[in-house]
Amino acid sequence: MKRFACPSLTRRLFAIAILLSLLSANAIAQPKFSVVGFFTAKQDRAHISFVHEANRFFAEQAEKNNFVYDSTDDWTNLNAEFLAKYQVILFFDTRPEAPEQRAAFEKYMKNGGAWMGFHFAGFALTPSAYPQNWDWYHNEFIGSGQYKGNTWRPTSANLKVEARKHPALKGLPKVFKSSPNEWYSWEKDITQNRDIQILLSIDSTSFPLGTGPKKHEIWHSGYYPVAWTNKKYKMIYSNMGHNDIDYEGKTNRELSYQFANTVQNKFVLNSLFWLAGVKK
């Protein structure tokens, strides 16, 4: 006995197949989340080099991992209307200075926004061009207070994973070698802050860290956190973000890159997806 498909049923099934195909394509095309990076890129060639490298890296990763990435050096964009478009914001090399920009950022974070800051974004020193004149940001939010000192020259360090169960550290080895960096020490001991969870620290196998020429620029011992989160906010601060530049030879040639490190990049991407609330 021959069976014939009902023309109307065939048309309906065909229409459903097309609809499902369109829905599937739309789901694939729909970005997972949106990120914006704020930067200044006007002082210190090492920081400028990092900013340009970071913008390239996040743009490439946005294409690979299906999220939106924008960047801006216009800090007046740090306002409620602009920030509402983004699930995560990044500070690459500085912080906002205008009171209204600072207020908008604080409100964004207290309302559930997410942030990742790198290296000089946490810097403050009184007196300097970047004095500690923002207590909420430096003392409460990041929690480290003022800058205290640094290593020199930029050198790689062995970084120890301190919170193995944290999503930002998923798949990382217990200890890994970082890209060359200028490492900061801080005024406040964040190990005494109950709101701070340290993610990465300098492993003791790194010492001596730095090459000088000044003695205080070489660290021989101590405990130095380099990445942490404040559990009251969706945030991660990472001290990485200073490329090595040939200042001594006066060529200003870039000698190292932050994102030329597969394991360190994994930490950055894990952090980004965790902050956005999306599984990688």
pLDDT in tens, 198-229: 999 999 999 999 999 999 999 999 999 999 99
H or E stretch including 263? helix 262-276
27, 73, 153 from 76: Cα distances, Å? 34, 9, 34
Looking at the chain, the whole-number percentage of residues with pLDDT higher than 70 is: 90
Q: How far apart (Å, rounded) are the C-alpha atoms in residues 208 and 224? A: 13
Q: How far apart (Å, rounded) are the C-alpha atoms in residues 2 and 225? A: 76
Say whether pLDDT at 104 is over 60.
yes
Indicate the domain borders of the chain. Answer: 32-276
Q: Name the band, by pLDDT with cuts 50, 70 and 90, for residue 280.
A: confident
Q: Please state the rounded mean pLDDT for residues 157-183.
A: 98
Q: How far apart (Å, rounded) are the C-alpha atoms in residues 216 and 212? A: 8
Q: How many CA atoms lie within 13 A of 173 on its CB side?
A: 10
In terms of CATH architecture, what is 32-276? Answer: 3-Layer(aba) Sandwich (3.40)
Assigned token pair, 27: 């789901």
Q: Which residue has the higher pLDDT, 20 or 110?
A: 110
Q: Name the band, by pLDDT with cuts 50, 70 and 90, for residue 28.
A: low
Q: How far apart (Å, rounded) are the C-alpha atoms in residues 24 and 106? A: 38
pTM above 0.85, yes or no: yes
Place of tokens 């509402």: 84
Q: Name the band, by pLDDT with cuts 50, 70 and 90, for residue 5.
A: very low
Q: How far apart (Å, rounded) are the C-alpha atoms in residues 235 and 116? A: 6
